[in-house]
Amino acid sequence: HFFTEPHPYWQQSVVVVGGGNSAVEAALELHRVGARVTMVHFLGEFDRGVKPWILPDITNRLKEGSVAVRWRSRVAEIGPRHVLIRCETDGSTETVPADFVLALTGYRADLTLLRAIGVAVHEETGVPRHTPDTMETNVRGVYIAGVVAAGLDANKIFIENGRLHGGLICAHIKSKPSRVAPGGSSPARHRAP
């Protein structure tokens, strides 16, 4: 379920399951390093949340045939060197070569630690309670950054806009009074009696 690096898949047959951002981006990266890519998606088009600036690229790769896609289909079986794909429309099956299968069907942040330290999480949206201007949660001194701030809607925050969170967090921390005196000791030790 995790794709980090395309190069190990060079000249390999790779089936990418999914039709969202992670699947589309992986398919493009894999294609660029020389993998033979087949995408499998249960819908008849890519997810609505796919970044609009990558849609033309994947659409062109599909049109030219350099990336294959099986729409309205699901993986029915994974074998040692193949995948059996079942078409949802007519029930037909197709065997596709596969050295690797990447199930990139969505991302959900693990909120266990945040909940354990007392960060409130909205039960319906999965959004941790935080101040958007500072990214500080309801637990003083605990900040969130990136896609976790969007909760269950991973199509709101991407690398492109999530990277701004670091600046907000740093600015907020820098704006607070120092809790440690120069030299590293507690300010309380330096107060006059």
Contact 59, 45 (CB under 8 A): no
- Domain of residue 99, CATH code: 3.50.50.60
Domains: count for the chain: 2
Q: Are residues 158 and 87 in the same domain?
A: no
What pLDDT sits at residue 109?
A: 78
What pLDDT sits at residue 110?
A: 83
Q: Are residues 133 and 98 in the same domain?
A: no
Domain assignment of residue 81, given as a range:
7-103
What pLDDT sits at residue 151?
A: 85
What pLDDT sits at residue 142?
A: 96
Is residue 126 in some structural domain?
Answer: yes
What pLDDT sits at residue 36?
A: 98
Is residue 37 in some structural domain?
Answer: yes
* Amino acid type, 10: W
What pLDDT sits at residue 182?
A: 63
What pLDDT sits at residue 1?
A: 58
Query: Which tokens belong to 94?
Result: 């197709």
Q: Are residues 97 and 118 in the same domain?
A: no
Is residue 2 in some structural domain?
Answer: no
Q: Are residues 25 and 42 in the same domain?
A: yes
What pLDDT sits at residue 163?
A: 84
End-to-end CA distance of the chain: 60
Within 10 angstroms of residue 44's Cβ, the number of other Cβ atoms is 11
Q: What is the pLDDT along the chain (193 residues), one digit of tens a residue?
A: 568 899 999 999 999 999 999 999 999 999 999 999 999 999 999 998 888 999 999 999 999 999 999 999 999 999 999 999 999 999 999 999 999 999 998 767 788 999 999 999 998 888 999 999 999 999 999 999 988 888 877 667 777 778 899 999 999 999 988 776 666 665 555 555 5
Contacts of 154 (CB under 8 A, 6+ apart): 20, 21, 49, 106, 107, 108, 147
What are the CA-CA distances from residue 8 to residues 81, 97, 188 (Å)? 16, 17, 56
What pLDDT sits at residue 56?
A: 96
Could you tell me the sign of the dihedral formed by the alpha carbons of 16, 21, 24, 29, in that order? negative
What pLDDT sits at residue 116?
A: 95
What pLDDT sits at residue 191?
A: 59
Query: Which tokens belong to 171?
Result: 């600015």
Q: Are residues 153 and 68 in the same domain?
A: no
